[in-house]
Amino acid sequence: MSKTPITLLVVDDQTIVRKGIRALLEQVDDIHVIGEAADGEEAVAQVKLLNPDVILMDLMMPKMDGITAIREIQAGKTPKRIIALTSFVTEDKVFPAIKAGAMGYLLKDSEPEDLITAIRKVNRGEPSLHPTVAKMVLEELSQPVKQPLTPDPLTGREVDIVRLVAQGLSNRQIADELVIGEATVRTHVGNVLNKLHLANRVQATLYALREGLTSLDEMDNLGKE
C-alpha cells in the first residue's frame, strides 16, 4: 500500500510563485498541494477548511502578513507545521517568525530539492532552517544571556534528547539511538520544553546551538537526504 502523501497549503501573494511551487511538487509523489492562499486572512480560513499537514507561508503579504497569520494559526486548538518562505533574511522577519511558531525557514532562491526536503522534515516534526538563517540565529544566540532560562537544570538524558532533536532526529529515531521507548522520548521532549520555556523543537534546536550541544555542520550533515 502506498504511503499517504503530505498535504500542503501554499500561501503567497504572487500567483506565479504559487503556481510554480504547485507545478514543481506535482512531480513529487509524496507531497500533494491541496490549496492556495494569496494573503494571511485567506490562509487562516483555508487552514480551518482544509487542515493541511504542512503550510508554506510567505511573510510579506497584503491584508495580513505571514507572521500574524502564523500566530493566528498556531493559536488554534491544533498547532500546525509551518515553513516560513521569504526573499529576505532580516532579524525583524526571522526571529518573529520562529517565535510565532514556524518550524522551518526557507529562502525563495533555495533549490527545489531544499524545498522538498524542508517539507518532509517539517512534516515529521523536525526543524528545518536555511543555513543562512541558522547562522544568523546562532550569532544572535551567542550573545550573553542575562539570566538562566530555567533554575531547574537539564538532566544528562535531557541533554542527550536536546542534542538529537537539534540534529533533526524524529522521536522514533531518538528512541532507536538511545535504546528507549518512543513514549519516553515524547515525555523527555515535553519536559525539556517546559524547563526551558520553549514553544517547539525549533526553539530547542536554537538553544542547543547556543549552548554548543550541536553545530551547524552536524545539522547540515544529518539533514541531507
Q: Does residue 1 form part of some domain?
A: no
State whether residue 81 is helix, strand or coil.
strand
Q: Which residue has the higher pLDDT, 48 or 97?
A: 48
Which amino acid would we find at residue 93? K
Give tens-digit pLDDT for 153-194.
Answer: 788 898 888 888 877 777 888 999 999 999 999 899 888 888
Q: Which residue has the higher pLDDT, 193 or 73?
A: 73
* CB 216 within 8 Å of CB 135: yes
Instruction: Write the DSSP symbol of residue 39.
Output: S
Tell me: do 127 and 191 sit in the same domain: no
How much is the pLDDT for 141?
A: 54
Domain count along the chain = 2
Between CA 141 and CA 210 the distance in angstroms is: 5
Tell me which long-range contacts 28-31 makes (C-beta under 8 A, separation of at least 24). 28/116, 29/2, 29/5, 30/3, 30/5, 30/6, 30/120, 31/5, 31/6, 31/116, 31/119, 31/120
Instruction: Write the DSSP symbol of residue 179.
Output: T
Confidence check: pLDDT of 46 > 60 = yes
Between CA 214 and CA 163 the distance in angstroms is: 6
Between CA 42 and CA 183 the distance in angstroms is: 37
Provide the percentage of residues in the chain whose pLDDT is more than 90: 36
Q: What's the chain's average pLDDT?
A: 82
Tell me: do 112 and 174 sit in the same domain: no
Confidence of residue 218 (pLDDT cuts 50, 70, 90): low
Q: What is the average pLDDT across 3-29? A: 93
Which amino acid would we find at residue 69? A
Tell me: do 25 and 90 sit in the same domain: yes
Nearest to 167 by CA among 216, 225, 104, 115: 216
Tell me: do 50 and 161 sit in the same domain: no
Confidence check: pLDDT of 40 > 90 = yes
Cell numbers at residue 163, please? 542534542
Give tens-digit pLDDT for 123-132.
Answer: 988 878 777 7
Tell me: do 70 and 133 sit in the same domain: yes
Tell me: do 46 and 135 sit in the same domain: yes
Confidence of residue 58 (pLDDT cuts 50, 70, 90): very high
Provide the percentage of residues in the chain whose pLDDT is more than 70: 82
Q: What is the average pLDDT across 126-144? A: 65
How much is the pLDDT for 178?
A: 92
State whether residue 47 is helix, strand or coil.
helix
Tell me: do 134 and 176 sit in the same domain: no
Domain residue limits at 76: 6-139
Tell me: do 148 and 211 sit in the same domain: yes
- Number of helices followed by number of strands (H, E) in the chain: 11, 6
CATH number of the domain encompassing residue 87:
3.40.50.2300
